[in-house]
Structure 1
Amino acid sequence: FGGGRIVDAAKMAAKKSNIPFISVPTAISHDGIASNRAVLEIYSAPAVMPTGILVDSDIIIKSPYRLTAAGFGDMVSKLTAVEDWELSNDEIGEYISEYAATINRTAADLVIRSAKSIKNLEKKGLENLIEALVFSGIAMAIAGSSRPASGSEHMFSHALKELYPKKTSLHGEECAVGSILCSYLHNMDWPRIVEALKVVGAPTNNEELKIPREIIIKALSEAKNIRKDRYTILDYKDIDEKKAEIAAKETGVIE
Structure 2
Amino acid sequence: MELPNRILVGYDVIHELGNFLKDLGLGQKVLIISGANVKDLVGKIVGESLSSFGISCLWHLVNSATVDHVKRAVDVAKSQQVKAIIGLGGGKSVDVAKLSAYYASLPLIAVPTSASHDGIASPFASIKGLEKPFSMVAKPPIGILADITLIANAPKRLLASGCGDLIAKITAVKDWELARDEKGEYFRKYAGSLALLSANLVIEESEEIGRGGKDSVRDVVEALISAGVAAGIAGSSRPCSGSEHLFSHALDILAPNTGLHGERCGIGTIMMAKLHGLPWEKIALSLRNVHAPTTARELGINPDLIVDAILLAPRVRPERYTILHKLGLDRKSIVDIVKSVGVI
Task: Please indicate the TM-score interval, normalised by the length of the shorter structure.
Answer: over 0.9
Counterpart residue type for residue 180 of structure 2: N
Partner of 2:301 in structure 1? 211
Partner of 1:30 in structure 2? 117
- Is 2:100 the counterpart of 1:13? yes
SS at match of 2:197: helix
Partner of 1:229 in structure 2? 319
Indicate if the aligned counterparts of 2:252 and 2:258 stay in contact, CA closer than 8 A. Answer: no
- Is 2:326 the counterpart of 1:202? no
> CA RMSD, aligned part only?
0.9
Partner of 2:165 in structure 1? 74
Greater relative contact order (Cα < 8 A, sep 6+): 1
Q: CA deviation at 1:242?
A: 1.4
% identical aligned pairs: 46
The separation in 1 between residues aligned to 2:182 and 2:286, in whole angstroms, is 30
Q: CA deviation at 1:240?
A: 2.0
**Deviation string for 1:104-134 (max 9, x for gaps)?**
1111001111112211222332122111110
Which structure 2 residue ranges, 5 or more long, are not aligned?
1-87
SS at match of 2:236: coil
Which of 208, 224, 228 in structure 2 is aligned with 1:133? 224
- Is 2:194 the counterpart of 1:107? no
SS at match of 1:43: coil
Counterpart residue type for residue 171 of structure 1: H
SS at match of 1:201: coil
The separation in 1 between residues aligned to 2:105 and 2:252, in whole angstroms, is 32
Which protein has the larger Cα radius of gyration, Structure 1 or Structure 2?
2
The separation in 1 between residues aligned to 2:118 and 2:227, in whole angstroms, is 6
- Is 2:331 the counterpart of 1:241? yes
The separation in 1 between residues aligned to 2:245 and 2:141, in whole angstroms, is 23
Q: CA deviation at 1:56?
A: 1.1
Partner of 2:89 in structure 1? 2
The separation in 1 between residues aligned to 2:236 and 2:245, in whole angstroms, is 14
Q: CA deviation at 1:13?
A: 1.2
Indicate if the aligned counterparts of 1:117 and 1:126 stay in contact, CA closer than 8 A. Answer: no
Partner of 1:184 in structure 2? 274
Counterpart residue type for residue 45 of structure 1: M
Partner of 1:40 in structure 2? 127
Higher fraction of helix: 1
The separation in 1 between residues aligned to 2:148 and 2:260, in whole angstroms, is 21
Which of 39, 54, 58 in structure 1 is aligned with 2:149? 58
SS at match of 1:40: coil
Partner of 2:181 in structure 1? 90
Q: CA deviation at 1:222?
A: 1.7
Higher fraction of strand: 2
SS at match of 1:19: coil
The separation in 2 between residues aligned to 1:168 and 1:140, in whole angstroms, is 26
The separation in 1 between residues aligned to 2:296 and 2:221, in whole angstroms, is 27
Bigger shift: 14-23 or 202-211? 14-23
Bigger shift: 41-50 or 150-159? 41-50
The separation in 1 between residues aligned to 2:231 and 2:177, in whole angstroms, is 15
Indicate if the aligned counterparts of 2:311 and 2:331 stay in contact, CA closer than 8 A. Answer: yes
Counterpart residue type for residue 261 of structure 2: H
Counterpart residue type for residue 172 of structure 2: A
Counterpart residue type for residue 114 of structure 1: E
The separation in 2 between residues aligned to 1:203 and 1:241, in whole angstroms, is 23
TM-score, structure 1 normalization:
0.97
SS at match of 1:55: strand
**Deviation string for 1:73-105 (max 9, x for gaps)?**
000001000000000100111001011000011
Counterpart residue type for residue 168 of structure 1: T
The separation in 2 between residues aligned to 1:231 and 1:240, in whole angstroms, is 17
Counterpart residue type for residue 156 of structure 2: Y
**Deviation string for 1:176-209 (max 9, x for gaps)?**
0000000000000000000001111100000001
* Aligned structure 1 segments of 4 or more residues deviating by more than 3 angstroms: none
Indicate if the aligned counterparts of 1:222 and 1:240 stay in contact, CA closer than 8 A. Answer: no
The separation in 2 between residues aligned to 1:55 and 1:197, in whole angstroms, is 24
Which of 255, 269, 272 in structure 2 is aligned with 1:164? 255
Counterpart residue type for residue 84 of structure 1: D
Aligned residues between the structures? 253
Which structure 1 residue ranges, 5 or more long, are not aligned?
none
